[in-house]
Structure 1
Amino acid sequence: MAIQKIIESLTVKEYLFFIVLITVVYIFNFYYKYFTRTNPLPGPFPLPFIGNIHNVGLDVRKFYKECRQKYGDTCEVMLMGLRCIVLTRPDDIEKILSPASKGDAYIRRFPYTEGEAEIGHYGYGLLNNISYKHWKRNRQSFTHLLAPKFMDTVINSANNLYEELSEYWHTLGIQRNNNVNADNWALEIDFPAWLYGYSNDLISILITGERTYSMVSYYNKISNIKSKFFNALIEDEDTFVQSIIKHIDGVEFFMFINPFIRHYAPIIRDKSISILKNRDYLFGRLRMVIKKRREEIEKMSADTEMKTDMLTSLIIANKIRDTDSITDKPMNDEEIRGNLLEAFMGGTETGPNAFCYITYYLCKHPHIKQKVLSEIDSVFPKSSNKFSVTHDDLLKLKYCEAVIKETLRLMPVIGLNTRYVTEECKIAGYKWPAGTLFHLDVLSTNRDPELWPNPEVYDPDRFYNNDQSDKKFLPIFGGGLRICPGRKLAVVELLILMASVYKNFNLDLTNTHESLKISTNGVIPKVLEMNVRISPRI
């Protein structure tokens, strides 16, 4: 009460005086810490409140590339109010991401931030979980992604969705070519839009056992002949998918934008409120999905075969062992929600972007595309039977797998990784105290001439029957304890798409001279547009 009375008694001039005083003290303290920092490194000069956000702008990749060119292999930037040490040398990054880096010294991605808690990710899932004990427990929820039975579900679901996708393309091709012969049409399509639909449906089936009807939604928007599915169902699922995409952007926004700016800056404050409203909808929707599946499982008889999706796996696991505790305890709904959400976030955009990159590079390099077609034709001879891919078929697609690795070397779906060390360490020739945040510039590492001869040349032969290249450090899926748990799933999805699409269709860029249009204003670059001409491969 006394403080409130003092505040109420202040005049406007006194308010302004205190605001100016607080600002001056903050700026003085900010630059005192900056000029007295440990191991000062070159880097762009930071500003109070915003650090180097103004330098980053709307192109994260360009910013880090310019930092390396201007300041060298090791530099520093100020983001999220934190000093970040940027590493680009392969040996430095490998030391942090290597599987040999055991324990929890390199396991944390970020320190605790208010934005992480506000957006609802603190303590849940894997991505930014700062508790090693809870992270390890949640990690177990992803281990079933490597189980043979789950991989069978992946392959079967991918085959079924491809069959549906090819039917949509055939229908549109005939519509737009005035009902010509079924095998003699050509169609220009927005390739990323179709891939996002396909991938969203697939990842949703694998996570929840139910699809999102994203392909159907896009097909209905551009086709004169509508699908058999109900519009209300499609619209409801489309809202859910869009909320996931918005949430991904929102997480980055809350992680990188200063709390004061988020709460009080005009326009930015409105965006923060919109992101939080979307968060509430998304979390509520996931809770409903979990509740519905629990009720379905409770009504099943003991001999009923369970689905193999991630949600069912988490619910029927009565006890998940916490190896750092003397007790076992079941995973509650909020923990399940956190893991489901991260699985959606990890698969919604990365798969479609990766396949766009693959298609772009193959169209730009016809001789490499011909090698891909030759391998696919050798594994899948011409047949009148329904096309489908098996697990054994995937093992034979060695050159296709080399294409995936080379594509992701040049265009990693996540070009920047982070680690927040919890112990003193020696990196890049300096001793760093616990609490140092490192930014690992993977994109630069993958193009390092000391590691890769002619690094800017697209050459899948680097990985084709080349034991030495397979032993080289290639952090396209992260590394160490934090390596992506869905990496095998990602490769399987891409191999099935390559085999299915390139076996049955011709793909060419509508404009071979046009550069790939990518949004690079976030950690995950997104292909905005890539127009492709598609026709049946006879």
Structure 2
Amino acid sequence: MAIYHIFFALKFTDYLIFIVLSVLTYVSQYYYKYFTRPNKLPGPLPLPFIECGYLFTGNNKKLLTSLHKKYGDIFEIYIRGMRRIVISRPEYLEKIFNSSSNDTTFIQRFPYLEGLDELGWLGKGLKANHNIKSWRFNRQFFDQAILSPSFNYEAVEWINNLVQELEGYWKSLANLNLSQDDKNEWSLEIDIAKWIHRFTCDMVSIVITGERCYSMTSYYNIHSTLKVTRSDTVIEDSERFIQGINEFFLKAIYFTYLGPFLRNNLPFIKDKVKTLLGYMDFMFETLDKIIKKRRREIEEMPIGAKLRSDMLTSLIVTNTERDMNSVKISKDNIFRPMTDIEIRGNLLDAFLGGVNSTANAFTAIVYYVCRSPEIKQKMLAEIDSIFPPNNSLHLKYDDLLKLEYCTAVLYESARISPNTIEQVRYVETPCEIAGHQCEAKTMIIINVNGIHRHKDHWPNPGIFDPDRFYKKERHKCSLVTFGGGLRICPGRKLSLTELLSLMVIVFGKYDVELVDKGAPLEVESGGLNIHKGLPIRIKPRK
């Protein structure tokens, strides 16, 4: 009763003073704790309540580049109650990338983040799986499925078939308005970024499901008056599916850098968040349909019948009576089948990792090669020496391995225009990095652009020069295109095979030039660099 009387006896000014004192007390404690923190590193000053969130614009590349320039090769930034140490020097990565299966200090990418959980991405598949046992379970399967030597040869045959189809679409579009006499001298303006995104989506679809999603067909139908009909597509709306992948890489960063209140209420962000969640629902629904359809097909087959060799089928039958593999895969030391949600997580990671990264990489290769005539001629000379122009061009995996200069071009393009902006590790126990102690529950951010353009390792880092990689040594951590250590990308060999194959086909069979040689490479950055488009002009090479 006394408290009741005191409460109503207080005036407005009394409440205001109480609120001000509470805020001042919080701010004082906040900055006392910040300025007396152990193991200090340089970095931007965090603000109470929002920490360094005031720096966030959605463009992580711009943010990390500016902070690297201001604070050096190692600095700290506080976001969402967590210390994040940003590394931009190759030598500092050695301990992270040298971790073994017995040392799991740097094995984890993310802690539990409610934002990733809201996206339906956390704890499933590989990329954002914070459960180490579950991650090992899935990684063992990925390695078993796509790192075998036989897989490389199968992949090249799939590429041969897809490239033949792609060339057919290009020729058809070029010939639509030509007379019969002119059809051998055709030329065509295309957006190579858009076409290669459809190519890689078709490629991932075959690798994962054994079926086509006919993304190239859908894109061709958008631009052609002559329509192609496909009734057996595994993804009915592949255009929307690809757009969903792009939206994910541009906007998922809002779910890792901003709390739920900010991302769901800030006027210029909440609509983007809502859009991405809609695309995620669509992609999950699409993948669920694919899984259920294949599961029904398998259940209708007799035990012992020969099944497809695609990854989806293997995921479904793993550790069941239909599993023909001699090597079993366990989770929590229990040999059990995968659930549909676990399978969906692996499929989503495969599409996310396999579509954009390879398409963006090839778009950058085309851009830089076409701006460098001497490099282009040197690359063509190597292609012609291994794949003679007068012979029918049927790719073979062993021949692709001979392309040393083309490989150097590929790596230099990946260096100067990386797909990833940051690579993340989360440490649950104290550790040491570059002579600095990191407390438990710290996130380590690898600034990819800073690593790839570090002046101590790359003279004239802004110049496109494949000779940096051509029979020359470099620091083992100075190129982090596919990451490193236990978390190295499991699809790296497939990506390299696709890229080399596309280089041979596109440059070996066609004269390629940029429509606007003076235009910069148009890139949109969020959590990943997305090449929005690259208009080129192609015609059959004489």
- TM-score, normalization: structure 2? 0.89
Cα distance, 1:88 vs structure 2: 1.0
Cα distance, 1:318 vs structure 2: 2.0
What letter matches 1:108 in structure 2?
A: Q
CA distance in 2, matches of 1:277, 1:476: 30
1:330 aligns with 2:334: no
Structural mapping, 1:33-44, within 5 Å: 33-44=33-44
CA distance in 1, matches of 2:157, 2:176: 29
* Change in CA separation of 1:488 and 1:234 when aligned onto 2, cut-off 3 Å: closer
Look up the match of 1:275. Answer: 276
* Change in CA separation of 1:252 and 1:377 when aligned onto 2, cut-off 3 Å: same
CA distance in 2, matches of 1:200, 1:150: 18
* Change in CA separation of 1:377 and 1:345 when aligned onto 2, cut-off 3 Å: same
Structural mapping, 1:350-429, within 5 Å: 350-383=357-390, 385=392, 387-429=393-435
8 A contact 2:162–2:199 mirrored in 1: yes
Look up the match of 2:531. Answer: 527
Deviates more, 1:255-264 or 1:92-101: 92-101
SS state at 1:296 partner: helix
Look up the match of 1:465. Answer: 471
Cα distance, 1:219 vs structure 2: 1.3
8 A contact 1:321–1:329 mirrored in 2: no
CA distance in 2, matches of 1:324, 1:281: 29
Structural mapping, 1:251-262, within 5 Å: 251-262=252-263
Deviation per CA, 1:466-501: give whole Å up to 9, x if none: 3x2485642211011111111111101101111111
1:228 aligns with 2:234: no
Look up the match of 1:6. Answer: none
Deviation per CA, 1:190-219: give whole Å up to 9, x if none: 111111111111111111122222211221
Cα distance, 1:324 vs structure 2: 7.1
CA distance in 2, matches of 1:28, 1:342: 44
Cα distance, 1:183 vs structure 2: 2.7
1:501 aligns with 2:502: no
8 A contact 1:95–1:101 mirrored in 2: no
RMSD: 2.9
SS state at 1:308 partner: coil
Look up the match of 2:98. Answer: 98
CA distance in 1, matches of 2:65, 2:56: 11
Look up the match of 1:511. Answer: 516
* Change in CA separation of 1:100 and 1:315 when aligned onto 2, cut-off 3 Å: closer
Query: How many residues align structurally?
Result: 525
CA distance in 2, matches of 1:198, 1:53: 38
Look up the match of 2:187. Answer: 186
8 A contact 2:41–2:74 mirrored in 1: yes
* Change in CA separation of 1:305 and 1:463 when aligned onto 2, cut-off 3 Å: farther
Structural mapping, 1:483-498, within 5 Å: 483-498=488-503
8 A contact 2:430–2:439 mirrored in 1: yes
SS state at 2:46 partner: coil
Deviation per CA, 1:273-297: give whole Å up to 9, x if none: 4433433332232122111111112
What letter matches 1:437 in structure 2?
A: M
Runs of 5+ consecutive residues of structure 1 not aligned to the other structure: 1-11
Cα distance, 1:102 vs structure 2: 5.0
Look up the match of 2:5. Answer: none
Look up the match of 1:5. Answer: none
What letter matches 1:496 in structure 2?
A: S
Deviation per CA, 1:208-246: give whole Å up to 9, x if none: 122222211221112222223369988633333333333
Q: 1:474 aligns with which of 479, 484, 495?
A: 479
Deviation per CA, 1:291-315: give whole Å up to 9, x if none: 1111112223456543232111211
Deviation per CA, 1:47-84: give whole Å up to 9, x if none: 34443344342532222222122111111223344221
CA distance in 1, matches of 2:32, 2:429: 25
CA distance in 2, matches of 1:288, 1:13: 61
* Change in CA separation of 1:273 and 1:65 when aligned onto 2, cut-off 3 Å: closer
Cα distance, 1:348 vs structure 2: 1.9
CA distance in 2, matches of 1:409, 1:370: 21
SS state at 1:329 partner: coil
1:447 aligns with 2:465: no
CA distance in 2, matches of 1:160, 1:16: 73
* Change in CA separation of 1:264 and 1:296 when aligned onto 2, cut-off 3 Å: same
Runs of 5+ consecutive residues of structure 2 not aligned to the other structure: 1-11, 321-326
Deviates more, 1:51-60 or 1:136-145: 51-60
8 A contact 1:417–1:440 mirrored in 2: yes
1:204 aligns with 2:205: yes
Structural mapping, 1:257-336, within 5 Å: 257-266=258-267, 268-301=269-302, 304-318=305-319, 321=328, 325-336=332-343
Deviation per CA, 1:490-529: give whole Å up to 9, x if none: 1011011111111111111111111111012x12101112
What letter matches 1:140 in structure 2?
A: Q
* Change in CA separation of 1:448 and 1:102 when aligned onto 2, cut-off 3 Å: farther
8 A contact 2:512–2:536 mirrored in 1: yes
CA distance in 2, matches of 1:195, 1:393: 22
Deviation per CA, 1:103-155: give whole Å up to 9, x if none: 21111112211112111122211112122211111111211111233323321
8 A contact 2:244–2:276 mirrored in 1: no
* Change in CA separation of 1:195 and 1:71 when aligned onto 2, cut-off 3 Å: same
1:163 aligns with 2:169: no
Look up the match of 1:88. Answer: 88
Look up the match of 2:8. Answer: none
What letter matches 1:485 in structure 2?
A: P
CA distance in 1, matches of 2:316, 2:224: 39
8 A contact 1:108–1:130 mirrored in 2: yes
What letter matches 1:256 in structure 2?
A: Y
8 A contact 1:49–1:81 mirrored in 2: no
8 A contact 1:213–1:238 mirrored in 2: no
CA distance in 2, matches of 1:231, 1:334: 24
Look up the match of 1:348. Answer: 355
Look up the match of 1:107. Answer: 107
Deviation per CA, 1:400-433: give whole Å up to 9, x if none: 1111112112222113111111222121222121
CA distance in 2, matches of 1:18, 1:523: 42
* Change in CA separation of 1:260 and 1:506 when aligned onto 2, cut-off 3 Å: same
8 A contact 2:389–2:508 mirrored in 1: no
Look up the match of 1:438. Answer: 444
* Change in CA separation of 1:509 and 1:22 when aligned onto 2, cut-off 3 Å: farther
CA distance in 1, matches of 2:251, 2:100: 34
SS state at 1:61 partner: helix
* Change in CA separation of 1:324 and 1:277 when aligned onto 2, cut-off 3 Å: closer
